[in-house]
Amino acid sequence: MGFTFEVEKPDETCSARAGVMRTAHGDIPTPLFAPVGTQATVKTLTPDELIEIGTTLILANTYHLYLRPGADIIARLGGLHQFMGWSGPILTDSGGFQVFSLEGLRRVSEEGVLFRSHIDGSEHFFSPEKTIEIQEKLGADIIMAFDECADPMDYDYNKLALERTHRWAERCLRAHTRTDQALFGILQGGIFPELRRKSAEFLTSLGFPGYAIGGLSVGEPKEKTWETLDITVPLLPTDAPRYLMGVGAPEDLFEGVERGIDLFDCALPTRLARNGAVFTSRGRINLRKAEFAEDSAPIEEVCECYTCRRFSRAYLRHLLKAREILGLRLNTIHNVHFLTNLVRRIRESILDDSFSALKREFLSQYVPVADDTEQRIKGLARRRARSKQEGTR
Ligand SMILES: [Zn+2]
């Protein structure tokens, strides 16, 4: 069965919409938050735990799985679904983002990117054709075109990278042979309206079944992220899903949905959980803090996740302090549940015309954390320094 997408209900007051993506491994209701399973595992969680949480789509990472254990091994073992014991839908990214984020990047050419493995320093080459071949071997339901990720604030680099990304998108389409996988295109163009328009125009002319908005949430100021979406999303066809890559902070999910985004992914909930930071409806708290040492309440009274049904903040804090593995698992269960459930409520609110009310109500209580932005800016500074050093232009 091929991939289809249907908008069930557009919101009447903004660009939000509820829909469903149908794949060979099941339906994906949208809007949706997908947890990241870089190494074919959502860190610390079993597939059954993800099913209990309500996860319907997992992201896996082409770059990492190509290096270890290798796409051929996974293919011989029956493909990624069988290999990781997850029978629901999977999305693989193309590896572009990782390759362009690597320390010691070697060379970008029209043909592709020569890079060194972060594991053993060995040299590898990714071309559009190669990343499609790997993704076909892995066998995810949704696969991504290979794109060049530029510093979103650098006009000259984006102009060049955009044209290459477009030529690479055409090559990905030509290389793609599996009809049971949907190949999504990725728009680039940084924060520059003219380039975003060009990217939308070109990629939609190729007719992808879905479009990702790449090159955002990598260090640009948030207002620029939303301005760029305001310009870009209306240029995309209404009957194809729109995917905002790398966004997962609760307040940002509302902003994205309001502008017509259907799909999000982010490593934030799992990464934070392993550091002891958990989401609540009032904002994030860190369970390592002394104030939770004798706190008998769950992370959140109203939360229906396994962790909140069974355990106190005091116990979770103790597990973190004692470096017990269970603590990482329990915190991850809560965080993935929190975002999955939040987006499920957002979807329901679109269906019953209460999206704006839910957004108002949620944001009146939730206090965002500034350090996410700081992290993004640090990441951007690192990337800038590297691209200058290596002369990747
Ligand atoms: Zn919970």
Cα–ligand 1 centroid distance for 86 (angstroms): 23
Residue 285 to residue 237: CA distance in whole angstroms: 40
**pLDDT confidence of residue 216:** 93
**pLDDT confidence of residue 100:** 87
**pLDDT confidence of residue 376:** 56
Cα–ligand 1 centroid distance for 277 (angstroms): 12
**pLDDT confidence of residue 370:** 74
**pLDDT confidence of residue 358:** 98
Cα–ligand 1 centroid distance for 90 (angstroms): 24
**pLDDT confidence of residue 24:** 96
Look at the alpha carbons of 301, 306, 312, 317 in this order and tell me if their dihedral is positive or negative: negative
Among the listed residues 324, 325, 250, the one whose alpha carbon sits nearest the alpha carbon of residue 281: 250
Cα–ligand 1 centroid distance for 82 (angstroms): 29
**pLDDT confidence of residue 372:** 56
Buried/exposed 28-43: b ≥16 CB within 10 Å, e otherwise: bbbbbbbbbbbebbbb
Three-state secondary structure call for residue 30: strand
H or E stretch including 310?
Answer: helix 306-310
**pLDDT confidence of residue 101:** 86
Cα–ligand 1 centroid distance for 332 (angstroms): 9
Buried/exposed 271-285: b ≥16 CB within 10 Å, e otherwise: bbbbebbbbbeeebb
DSSP state of 291: G
Token pair in block for residue 231: 């310009």
Cα–ligand 1 centroid distance for 54 (angstroms): 13
Cα–ligand 1 centroid distance for 323 (angstroms): 20
Buried/exposed 49-66: b ≥16 CB within 10 Å, e otherwise: bbeebebbbbbbbbbbbb
Catalytic (active-site) positions: 93, 265
Cα–ligand 1 centroid distance for 144 (angstroms): 32
H or E stretch including 243?
Answer: strand 242-244
Cα–ligand 1 centroid distance for 61 (angstroms): 27
| Digitized pLDDT (tens) for each residue of the chain, 393 residues in all | 689 999 999 999 999 999 999 999 999 999 999 999 999 999 999 999 999 999 999 999 999 999 999 999 999 999 999 999 999 999 999 998 899 888 776 799 999 999 999 999 999 999 999 999 999 999 999 999 999 989 999 999 999 999 999 999 999 999 999 999 999 999 999 999 999 999 999 999 999 999 999 999 988 999 999 999 999 999 999 999 999 999 999 999 999 999 999 999 999 999 999 999 999 999 999 999 999 999 999 999 999 999 999 999 999 999 999 999 999 999 999 999 999 999 999 999 999 999 999 999 999 999 998 755 555 555 666 656 655 554 443
**pLDDT confidence of residue 102:** 84
